[in-house]
Amino acid sequence: MSQQAILSGLIDSLQSSGERPLVLNSSYDNIVFQVGGDVFRWSLSKSLDDVRREADFIRYLHDNDFHAAEVRRVSETHIKSRKEGLPLLVTSYIPHDTDVSFPSAVLHKAAEALYRIHQLGESFCKNNSYVQGRKIDELLSQMDDSLKKGLSPNATNRLQVQDDLRWALNFIDQAPMGNPQTIIHNDFRPQNVLTANGDIAAVIDFDYAIASHTPQKDVAHAALEWSFPDTSEVPDLDRFRLFVEAYAATGNETYEDYIERVNLFDWVKVAAMIDAAGYWLHS
């Protein structure tokens, strides 16, 4: 069933119940509507059990005074011409600013929020099972398999790409498990941090969140994303350092000590490759 057909079916389902939906996002893995004071997100790539686990963690964050939406319900929706039901997560809509310039003060608060997610994720994992279908290296493995089958984005660089993929997969496989298990957001980009009047209103989109012993992957990816202000194609290294510095300071570490302890710059390479693999596989 095509993405457009699913979207149309969901709109018909909402309108037939008297709702007036506003499409917020439609991608290969989810469709999101705002309906009044709620946000409806249907997952196209996650099981109902995975969505329930995600909702459990969001509830845990909310109950511990973190900037998270309130979970309204988790259910399954059936639409015409589709055999399988679509897992639905309904959360509260968070009013927020539309300005996404993210000055340094907000960047600093975002880094502190990411640290808090990892801190709460650690305590959550001690008492809860959080087994998601996704793994950190999933997209890299999928791209590696595609290249082995001869599906290459560019025949002239296929061998180099394969070498880089093997390095990244090996790096992840050999990453030390010295950290306690926690939950990593796995998509902590500026678009997923809502702000209001200079403060963080909510962190959203835990769709990719997984249990992991490597929170530094989250930091690397986030710092990379937050170093590209205003859709610039060139990273602002001062913003990169500020993000990592704020995260490290929240844990009473210096910037230098943190990047050395977790081998952060290699994790930045891995995070960039995962993003590139996701773009190539789904574009």
Return the bridge partners of 33, or none: 23, 40
C-alpha–C-alpha distance, residues 211 and 225, integer Å: 21
Token code pair at residue 125: 């994992």
Please state, in angstroms and rounded to a whole number, the distance separating the CA atoms of residues 99 and 199: 12
Which DSSP symbol is given to 115? Answer: H
Closest of 280, 256, 11 to residue 143, by C-alpha? 280
Cβ within 8 Å of residue 42, ≥6 positions away: 6, 10, 30, 31, 32, 77, 86, 87, 88
Residue 223 has a pLDDT of 97
* Residue 17: alpha-carbon gap to chain centroid: 31
Name the nearest CA neighbour of 115 among 171, 179, 174, 173: 179
The residue type found at 195 is T
* Residue in the structure block whose two tokens are 């589709």: 82
Q: What does each of the 283 residues of the chain score in pLDDT, given as a tens digit?
A: 677 777 887 877 777 777 788 988 888 889 999 999 999 999 998 999 999 999 999 999 999 999 999 999 999 988 876 778 899 999 999 999 987 678 889 999 999 999 999 999 999 999 887 766 567 888 888 888 887 776 555 555 777 888 898 999 999 999 887 789 999 999 999 999 999 988 999 999 999 999 999 999 999 999 999 998 666 778 899 999 999 999 999 999 999 999 999 999 999 999 999 988 888 777 6
For residue 76 the two structure tokens come to: 């399954």
According to DSSP H, which parts of the chain are helical?
3-16, 48-63, 104-127, 138-148, 158-173, 215-226, 237-250, 255-262, 264-282
d(CA 93, CA 107): 22
Distance CA 68, CA 99 (A): 20
Question: What is the C-alpha separation between 112 and 245, in angstroms, rounded?
Answer: 10
User: pLDDT, tens digit, for every residue of 131-163?
Assistant: 665 678 888 888 888 877 765 555 557 778 888
The Cα-based distances of 139 to 167, 210, 257 in angstroms read 14, 14, 30
221: tokens are 């990816």
> Comparing C-alpha atoms, which of 247, 243, 218 is closest to residue 228?
243
Question: What local confidence, expressed as pLDDT, does residue 59 receive?
Answer: 97
Task: Provide the pLDDT for residue 149.
Answer: 73
Say what the pLDDT of residue 81 is: 67
Q: How far is CA 105 from CA 191, 195, 239, 246, in A?
A: 16, 12, 11, 10
